[in-house]
Structure 1
Amino acid sequence: MKIFFATDIHGSEICWRKFLNAAAFYKADLVVLGGDVTGKIMVPIVARNGYWEVTIRGEKRRLENREALEAAAKQLRDRGSYPAIVTPDELDALDTEQAIDERFNTEMTQSLDRWLDMADGKLRGGNIPCILNGGNDDIFEIDPILEASPCVTFAEGKVLDLDGWSMV
């Protein structure tokens, strides 16, 4: 059995895509992402009248059209950040740690849902088994999402049989 193992992608969508593509590239029978799946940063993209504003790596940008918005969001996602499109009022409402955490968790779980859809397509609808586990930097709210996914196996607290080998 050939296993491809990775860990600590911390929300990087480019690393997620590479992880999913590794199954075919290395002809792996199984892929495992051992933990620290989610990212640590949410970046607000403020929707203005006819454009958007975002600060990426200290550079304030004005995004004039949907293509520029999508390019900025992709750049953020590829580097492990969660782009959050907000109105000025929504940005002002993110004034407490609780409000920030709630929005951050929403962005994180929506991103994970999108990633699991990618996994289903790349791993041939479950023909290539994929085991995912949360890590010390992941929130517990991702656990039921992983557990409910038909295309991955959530490994937390389980003993998995891998063709006669046990994974704990």
Structure 2
Amino acid sequence: MVSLFKRKKADINVSNKNVRILFTSDLHASYMAFKKFINAAKLYKVDALIIGGDIAGKTLVPIIDLGSGKYNVDDKVISTNELNTIIERFKNEGTYYVILSKNEFEEASKNKKMQDELFKEAMINTVREWIKISEERLKDYRIPIFVNLGNDDPEYLFDVLKEGELFKVGEGDVFELNGYEIVSYGYVNPTPWRTFREKEEEEIYSDLKNIVNKLTNFSMAIYNFHAPPYNTNLDNAPLLDKNLKPVIRGGEFVYVHVGSKSVRRIIEETNPLLGLHGHIHESRGFDRINNTLVINPGSEYSNGLLHAALVILEGSSIKAHQFILG
């Protein structure tokens, strides 16, 4: 395919040494998965961490303070010791929680605006705690963390992420890493769940075209695009019926391709070095579009498992890549 984009002469100083990148996506508020990711930076001696979006959790559980060291969680009365255990489990599996008095709970149960504010507060507090964790554990290493929001992330989290000294945040901005250029984009093609950040394919393509035209050399470019490219090993998801239930035929789930056609198109037209994607949790895999390696590490955040991909770059080629699960 003939490229529709200008290829500018790059005047970039590329280091002779390998550049090691660790990528993950769809952490969905799981402290366990996030901590493993931060710790893996030192273990694998990486030059950069990249998070592909969907950092926000999906569930907020109210914990009712009954007084006298007793609490009600999911209609079960527990002690303070049991509460600490449950809170640790919630944080590890990516479940938000809020402790309320009986009066506060009754008010919140009738007030949608109050529920939204509690959810927002839980999201913001978690991101700030993650910033603190990353800076404490990586302060002596100064490893940059390139992070973007996904479709499940409200946009106000951009401002919170920018509070982190190590975090490199900016959708559509070009970030330099040892001669490589990284651009991020978190919107996805429409889903049945109508999440925060969805656009029609035509809009996505227009956005991506504007973003990649900022690059100086596609052969040294890394696309951190949350939606996986359509019709690849990265975008297989169960087919859903009108009630959003998986379709089963012959005793097995029916899978279909649900990725973005615009993401695939922009990759075909520009041939970047690497595409990093997420969004489809059950579709861990890699593929090639022309000469571009594209990767989706998958996600099992609710089990506290880290799904990540280690990619070793060497000049304008990829020396090695491997999936990490733990």
Q: TM-score, normalised by structure 1?
A: 0.91
Q: CA RMSD in A?
A: 1.3
Q: CA deviation at 1:126?
A: 6.2
User: Following the alignment from structure 1 to structure 2, what is the Cα–Cα distance between the partners of residues 64 and 146?
Assistant: 35
Runs of 4+ in 1 over 6 A off after TM superposition: none
One-letter amino acid of the structure 1 residue matched with residue 41 of structure 2: A
1:12 matches 2:40: no
Q: CA deviation at 1:124?
A: 2.1
Residue in 2 that maps onto 1:53: 72
User: Following the alignment from structure 1 to structure 2, what is the Cα–Cα distance between the partners of residues 53 and 126?
Assistant: 43
Greater percentage in helix: 1
Residue in 1 that maps onto 2:157: 142
Range with greater deviation from structure 2 (120-129 or 28-37): 120-129
Count residues with an aligned counterpart.
163
Q: CA deviation at 1:155?
A: 3.2
Work out whether residues 53 and 61 of structure 1, in 8 Å CA contact, stay in contact via their aligned partners in 2.
yes
Higher Rg of the two aligned structures: 2
User: Following the alignment from structure 1 to structure 2, what is the Cα–Cα distance between the partners of residues 156 and 4?
Assistant: 19
Q: 1:136 to 1:130 in 2, by over 3 A?
A: same
Residue in 2 that maps onto 1:22: 40
SS in 1 for 2:152: coil
Q: CA deviation at 1:11?
A: 0.9
Q: Quick one: which of 129, 142, 147 aligns to 1:132?
A: 147
Range with greater deviation from structure 2 (120-129 or 72-81): 120-129
Residue in 2 that maps onto 1:35: 53
Q: 1:126 to 1:116 in 2, by over 3 A?
A: farther
Q: Show structure 2 runs of 5+ residues with no match.
A: 1-18, 184-326
1:96 matches 2:108: no
User: Following the alignment from structure 1 to structure 2, what is the Cα–Cα distance between the partners of residues 148 and 7?
Assistant: 20
One-letter amino acid of the structure 2 residue matched with residue 53 of structure 1: N
Work out whether residues 123 and 129 of structure 1, in 8 Å CA contact, stay in contact via their aligned partners in 2.
no
Residue in 2 that maps onto 1:76: 90
User: Following the alignment from structure 2 to structure 1, what is the Cα–Cα distance between the partners of residues 77 and 31?
Assistant: 23
The alignment-based identity, stated in percent, is 29
Q: CA deviation at 1:151?
A: 2.4
One-letter amino acid of the structure 2 residue matched with residue 128 of structure 1: I
One-letter amino acid of the structure 1 residue matched with residue 62 of structure 2: P
- Deviations 1:19-49, CA, capped at 9 Å, x for gaps: 1111012111111111000101001111012
Q: 1:84 to 1:91 in 2, by over 3 A?
A: same
1:86 matches 2:100: yes
Residue in 2 that maps onto 1:151: 166
User: Following the alignment from structure 1 to structure 2, what is the Cα–Cα distance between the partners of residues 155 and 119?
Assistant: 18
SS in 1 for 2:41: helix
One-letter amino acid of the structure 2 residue matched with residue 89 of structure 1: N
- Deviations 1:79-128, CA, capped at 9 Å, x for gaps: 11111111111111112322211110011101111111001011125611
Q: Show structure 1 runs of 5+ residues with no match.
A: none
User: Following the alignment from structure 1 to structure 2, what is the Cα–Cα distance between the partners of residues 141 and 69?
Assistant: 30
Q: Quick one: which of 128, 135, 154 aligns to 1:120?
A: 135
User: Following the alignment from structure 1 to structure 2, what is the Cα–Cα distance between the partners of residues 128 and 28?
Assistant: 8
SS in 2 for 1:127: coil
Q: CA deviation at 1:12?
A: 0.9
One-letter amino acid of the structure 2 residue matched with residue 90 of structure 1: E
Task: Determine which structure has greater relative contact order: mean sequence separation of CA pairs < 8 Å that are 6+ residues apart, divided by chain length.
Answer: 1
SS in 2 for 1:2: strand
SS in 2 for 1:48: strand
